[in-house]
Amino acid sequence: MKNYWIKDQNRNEIITKTQIPNIGNHNIYANYYNLIDAKGIGFKFSYVSNLEIEKLYRKNGFDYYLLEQNNQKELYIFSNEKIEEYIERIVLKLNSCRNESDALTLLLNEMK
C-alpha cells in the first residue's frame, strides 16, 4: 500500500494535504492532522449535497464533518483503525467516478 500521508515533523502546518491521483482530477486529499498526530481524508467540492454544513457525522466508526467557505465545501473524514483499508478501496474505485457527486457517494459508501 502506498503511504499518501505526509507528517509535518515540525508541526508548522495544522493539516498537511497530499492529493490522491485520479483520472477525474477530483480534489481528494490524504490529510495528516499534525496537531493530533492522525490520518484522514479530505474532499473539496462545489456541487450541492444533502449533507448539513458544520455537523459531525458518524458511520461505522468513521467521523466526518463538512465545512463551507466561499461556495466551496470540504468534507473531512477523520482517522480510525480502518483508514488505510478505506483509502485502498477508494483509490481502486476513484477513477470510475464521473463527477463530484459520484466521488462523494463513493467516499460515503466505502465507510465500512
Q: What is the pLDDT of residue 65?
A: 95
Please name which of 41, 23, 21, 45 lies closest in space to residue 32, comparing C-alpha atoms.
41
CA distance 4 to 31: 8
Res 2: pLDDT: 67
- Which 3 state secondary structure label does DSSP give 12? coil
Q: Which residues pair with 84 in a beta bridge?
A: none
pLDDT value at residue 5: 81
Our CA angle for 58, 64, 65, nearest 5°, is 120
Q: Look at residue 80 in the predicted model and tell me its pLDDT.
A: 84
Q: What is the pLDDT of residue 96?
A: 92
Going from the first residue of the chain to its last (112 residues), give the mean pLDDT of each consecutive group of 10, the final group possibly shorter. Answer: 73 85 90 89 90 93 93 90 89 91 95 88
In the chain, where are the structural domains located?
15-109
Rounded distance, CA 76 to CA 73, Å?
10
